[in-house]
Amino acid sequence: MVRIVKIAIAILFTRAAAFLLLPLSMMLLPCHLQAQESQGRRRVEILHSDSMKYERLDGRTRNRLNGNVRLMHNDLYMNCDSAWYYDDTNQVLAYNNIHIWQGDTIHIRGQFLTYDGDTRKAVLTDSVELSDKEMQLFTDEIDYDVNTQVAIYDNGGRILSGDNTLTSIVGIYYSDQKMLHFRDSVRIVNPDYVMTADTMRYDTSREIAWFAGPSEVVGDSIYLYCENGWSDTRNDVSQLMKNAVLDNREQRITGDTLWYDEREGQGEAFGHVTVTDTSDNITGGGNYAWYEKRPERFLFTGTPWFSMFADDDTLTLRADTLRAIPVEDTAGVSHRLLKAYFNCTIFSREMQGKCDSLAYSFQDSVIRLYDDPIVWSRENQMTADSIALFTVNSKADHMEMYNRAFVVSSVDTARYDQISGKNLSGYFIDNKLTRIEVIGNGEAIYYVVDGNELVGVNRARSATIEILIEDSKIVEIYQNQSPDGTLNPPLELP
């Protein structure tokens, strides 16, 4: 009897223990399964389907989902008309009116989707559209990595961002950085211009493009070219590098690096800078340039130069600094004035000069030389307190020399004709000095030559003197107003 009681107690105790342990094991089982799932792969969840059919085919299990299908995988949501979900591989094949999105940042739509839940990679095809708050992308096929939020297309795509439409053969979109990378036949169409490049990066949030390789921007009033650089398309600011060219239809600028603000009409250029003004047929350059469009002005430094072109000659100015500024005449008409500072020189085939500062007026085409100016025209050397060189069609027409005017002309290696006066006017044909007029206290000392024979030395004084020159030699002298002159033998000093 005692044995039976002990057996009964043991059975009751065992049942009671099992009853008590069962709830505990049920509580621990979800934790165990959750631990297994977190350590392995996470399943795609089926949130809704109007109908669902479970099938097993060729050793694989799959769910046929049809009608208003909604799926979720971590932070990725998927909607479509119908889909196959494969349990064993955690894959989804979706059809028609597909919409996948991740948080509130990126949305992708298409007509066919392949999604791998283990790798978290999706492929969408057929009328694919990717969009976020900054842009829309249209293409035929896109590969999207859910982990990195990176989308790739390689068969042509079109992007709408602000006022810009971008197209390329290959594109990569980094959603977290709002950055697009383009390759092959890259093109941006803006209401004001069209940009083409081999390779480009584009920030959709700031609308800034970085380009590499031969790149062009063509607009109604602007042309840009470079092989490296960037452009802020929102604010119309660009920096061009490597074989850079900027053409605003009035000036053409080249250099190692060009920076330009289209809205402000300001620009800077660095290294091997050249500026060509097509309207005035002039060119300037240096190692640095600064430009402002309104009012038009520019600055050159770093061995700057400035050239004016004629039919058969070029007149070039050089100085330490060249600056062009707008000025108004007495009638209120504005024109440009070029100023040159320090160590100035002018050079053409028939005429050269130097001074410490000069100014060139675009209104009357006059070059004014200051501070110890000297001008050479073949064998003639001319000096005065200041000199004004009047040009017509970029050629020297005549020259005015003010105060203490003095002209020296070489006869041979030992003799020089000399002309002086208060003021002096010189006249040119094809940049060659042909006539001189001396006004006020005129005096001339010149050697009279008959063929190759020296006849004598003539000293002439007059209030005004007119001198004719051929082949840089004095051929005739006319004295007016109280003339006085003597002719001395060649060995006697005048």
| CA terminus-to-terminus distance, the chain | 170
pTM of the model: 0.70
Cα dihedral across residues 392, 393, 394, 396: positive or negative: negative
The tokens for 349 are 């085939």
Q: Which amino acid belongs to residue 413?
A: T
Burial class, 289, CB count within 10 angstroms (exposed 0-12 / middle 13-18 / buried 19+): buried
Q: Which domains does the chain have, with CATH numbers?
A: 41-126 (no CATH), 373-494 (2.60.450.10)
Peptide bond into 295 cis (omega under 30): yes
Distance, in Å, from the CA atom of 207 to the CA atom of 389, rounded to the nearest integer, reads: 51
Distance, in Å, from the CA atom of 260 to the CA atom of 238, rounded to the nearest integer, reads: 5
Give the pLDDT of the chain (494 residues) as one tens digit per residue. Answer: 334 334 333 433 444 444 333 343 333 333 333 433 443 358 999 999 999 999 887 777 899 999 999 999 999 999 999 999 998 899 999 999 999 998 777 899 999 999 999 999 999 999 999 998 888 999 999 999 999 999 999 999 999 988 889 999 999 999 888 899 999 999 999 888 899 998 999 898 888 989 899 999 899 888 889 999 998 988 989 999 999 998 878 788 999 999 989 888 888 999 999 988 877 778 999 999 998 888 888 899 999 999 988 777 788 999 999 998 888 877 778 888 999 999 999 998 888 999 999 999 888 889 999 999 999 988 889 999 999 999 888 788 999 999 999 999 887 777 888 889 999 999 998 878 899 999 888 888 888 777 777 788 888 888 888 888 888 777 888 887 767 767 777 665 45
Distance, in Å, from the CA atom of 215 to the CA atom of 229, rounded to the nearest integer, reads: 9
Model confidence pLDDT, tens digit, residues 357-409: 999 988 888 999 999 999 998 888 999 999 999 988 878 899 999 999 999 98
- Give the SS3 label for residue 241: strand
Distance, in Å, from the CA atom of 493 to the CA atom of 457, rounded to the nearest integer, reads: 8
